[in-house]
Amino acid sequence: MRLYLINPSNPLVSIVNVKESRWNRYRIWKPLSLMVLAGLTPAEWEVSIVDENLGAPDYAAMPLPDLVGITAFTSQANRAYEVAAHFRRLGVPVVMGGIHATMRLNEVMERTDSVVTREADGIWPQVLEDVRHGSLKRRYDGGLAEISEVPIARHDLLATGYACGAIQTTRGCPLNCSFCSVTAFNGAHYRQRPIPDVVREFQSIREKHVLVVDDNLIGTRPDHIARAKDLFRAMAQANLRKKWIAQATINFADDEELLALAAKAGCRGVFIGFESPTPEGLREVGKKFNLLKGRDFRTSVQRIQRHNILVVGSFIIGLDIDEPGIGKHIAEVASQYGVDNLNVLFLTPLPGTRLWDQMKAQDRIALNGFPEDWKYYTLTFPVARYAHLSLDGIIAEMISCDRSFYSMPRILHRVWGNVWQRRQPLIALVGNLSYRNNLQLSCKAYADFKRYWGDRTNSVKKS
Ligand code: B12
Ligand code: SF4
């Protein structure tokens, strides 16, 4: 039995060609979901993972499979449907799963033979068994997986072409921020994989650099932090020799022992969602953790950096309290916090989130010709109506934010700070220049987006 597991590309995101430059390997990430599914697939299936981010293959020239499984974030849905249509025309059954399939069940059911909602770990072998017996059902629900049964992902598949491996050690988040899908999809209960499984899986990753995909590696409670420390101790003891980056809340900075252990285990960078420069903004998105009384963000960031861990700060533009000038304000605040890189995204209503429900009720989802418009749900385009910012206004804020934070004097200042403190100056320089370079690409993308928006609005008016 032959199985293709496919990660569809979004041409608006996959603008890099890996074969053009070695550096582009740092801009694509492995689809871990498919590697986990492959790990759950019995040996009688011959599995191939196709990541279209490496370039879409000529499917017609490939041997016909017995089953196609497609994953998709919302932004990949359009392309997922194109791929599904291709294989269904050839009589190959197509099953789709992942976050978009879960949040837009009916839309996906109309375009595939079967849908698996939520986490597939517990149900995937059953789906495959049903295919073997010709009795594939229209819908399966995996619920939330028993975390100790999450298999070791097939890291031997997709062995080349990427700079980083990927691993997951926990699932779920209790914080339920308004714009985020994680609590709705993976649940509020923070589930932790057994430490020996994680260490064993790390050992099976070939790449030296690894992305730990957990939404918050350290969790929210003292027992979560104790587990993170145990994990880091076990990783250091296993002498993995990996350098890894992860996501965490700013609370990462509050425990010196935790930071020291993380660094010893190979942590070289952390991605932190600051979300808004003001307490009102944080209240609006429900990011309670960042509202801790007396929190000094600059001191917290410095404490992390002292352990030779780079800090990437993420903010959102387009909150209801955001007014003209927000772009520069974010750049100033992020510079003041001292983050090494800044990543700013447009507030985007993603299906299944509280923000989606709220904006839908208020008729503020502007780009709503689905499924075509999903390709713009990358958080890098303003798809909604914002309280105090027009379409042109919010794009101008984003550009001014990036221009200000990634101005040459500011980049040199930051990199000089890294040289002075002996903190990975080369990586900081490459990271900053890469973001600066993206700015030009973004300006072109905004121009195309405005044209698309204009055409869409005109066609709606005419009809
Ligand atoms: C790693 C990651 C990335 C990586 C992508 C790696 C990749 N897959 O290509 C990077 C950094 C590139 C990335 C980018 C983006 N991401 Co992202 N990302 C994640 C993160 C943190 C982990 C995903 C992961 O690997 N999980 C581990 C695997 C094992 O779990 P899983 O993917 O859920 O898969 C399980 C099930 O869903 C199911 N399943 C999945 N696929 C399939 C397929 C079949 C056939 C079946 C049966 C089952 C099945 O089975 C799996 C095992 O249980 C998630 C948050 C999260 N907790 O999921 C956000 C998340 C998926 N990202 C999100 C977003 C918004 C984005 C971006 C659009 C914006 C951005 N800048 O962050 C871009 C879009 C990229 C694109 N190509 O269009 C949202 C998606 C929401 C949505 N409705 O689409 C999430 C949920 C975070 C959030 N805050 O809400 N992301
Ligand atoms: S943004 Fe982070 S903290 Fe908030 S719900 Fe999502 S994963 Fe949890």
- How far does residue 183's CA lie from ligand 2's centre (Å)? 7
Q: What is the pLDDT of residue 15?
A: 52
Confidence tier at 455 by pLDDT (50, 70, 90)? confident
- How far does residue 218's CA lie from ligand 2's centre (Å)? 12
Residue to mutate, 216, 272, 291, ligand 2, most ligand atoms under 8 Å from C-beta: 216
CB-defined site of ligand 2, < 6 Å? 173, 175-177, 180, 182-183, 215-216, 273
- How far does residue 375's CA lie from ligand 1's centre (Å)? 15
- How far does residue 41's CA lie from ligand 1's centre (Å)? 20
Secondary structure E strands in 264-325: 267-275, 310-317
The atom number, within ligand 2, closest to the CA of 173 reads 8
CB 163, CB 25: distance < 8 Å: yes
- How far does residue 236's CA lie from ligand 2's centre (Å)? 27
Instruction: Give pLDDT tens digits for 374-418.
Output: 999 999 999 999 999 999 999 999 999 999 999 999 999 998 888
The atom number, within ligand 1, closest to the CA of 166 reads 25
- What radius of gyration do the chain's Cα atoms show? 22
Q: What is the pLDDT of residue 436?
A: 86
- CB-ligand 1 contact for 183 (6 Å cutoff): no
- How far does residue 254's CA lie from ligand 1's centre (Å)? 28
- How far does residue 33's CA lie from ligand 1's centre (Å)? 8
Asked if the model's pLDDT at residue 461 lies above 60, the reply is no
- CB-ligand 1 contact for 301 (6 Å cutoff): no
Instruction: Give pLDDT tens digits for 285-325.
Output: 998 778 877 889 999 999 999 999 999 999 999 999 999 99
- CB-ligand 1 contact for 215 (6 Å cutoff): yes
- CB-ligand 1 contact for 93 (6 Å cutoff): no
Q: Average pLDDT for residues 94-110, to the nearest whole number?
A: 98
Question: What burial class does residue 27 get, using C-beta atoms within 10 Å of its C-beta: 0-12 exposed, 13-18 middle, 19+ buried?
Answer: middle
Higher pLDDT, 182 or 25: 182
Asked if the model's pLDDT at residue 462 lies above 60, the reply is no
Residue with the nearest Cα to atom 3 of ligand 2?
Answer: 175
Q: What is the pLDDT of residue 159?
A: 80
Residues ≥6 apart with Cβ < 8 Å to 347: 179, 316, 317, 318, 319, 355, 384, 386
CB 10, CB 79: distance < 8 Å: yes
Q: What is the pLDDT of residue 431?
A: 85
Q: How far apart are CA 276 and CA 260, in angstroms?
A: 28
Q: How far apart are CA 409 and CA 135, in angstroms?
A: 63
The atom number, within ligand 1, closest to the CA of 102 reads 37
Alpha-carbon distances of 416 from 333, 340, 395, 411, rounded to whole Å = 19, 11, 30, 8
Q: How far apart are CA 309 and CA 6, in angstroms?
A: 34
Q: How far apart are CA 397 and CA 389, in angstroms?
A: 9
- CB-ligand 1 contact for 128 (6 Å cutoff): no
Q: What is the pLDDT of residue 385?
A: 97
Sign of the torsion formed by the C-alpha atoms of 363, 366, 368 and 374: negative
Residue with the nearest Cα to atom 5 of ligand 2?
Answer: 176
Confidence tier at 103 by pLDDT (50, 70, 90)? very high
Q: What is the largest CA-CA distance in the chain?
A: 67
Among 7-21, 97-111, 369-383, which is the least confidently predicted range? 7-21
Instruction: Give pLDDT tens digits for 163-198.
Output: 999 999 999 999 999 999 999 999 999 999 999 999
Residue with the nearest Cα to atom 51 of ligand 1?
Answer: 33
Residues written for the chain? 463
Q: What is the pLDDT of residue 445?
A: 92
- Please tell me the number of the ligand nearest to residue 117's CA: 1
Average pLDDT of the chain, as a whole number: 94
Q: How far apart are CA 280 and CA 282, in angstroms?
A: 5
Residue with the nearest Cα to atom 4 of ligand 2?
Answer: 177
Among 58-67, 89-98, 162-171, 450-459, which is the least confidently predicted range? 450-459
Higher pLDDT, 352 or 420: 352
Q: pTM (2 decimals)?
A: 0.96
Residue to mutate, 170, 173, 348, ligand 2, most ligand atoms under 8 Å from C-beta: 173
Query: Which residues make beta-bridge pairs with 117?
Result: 141
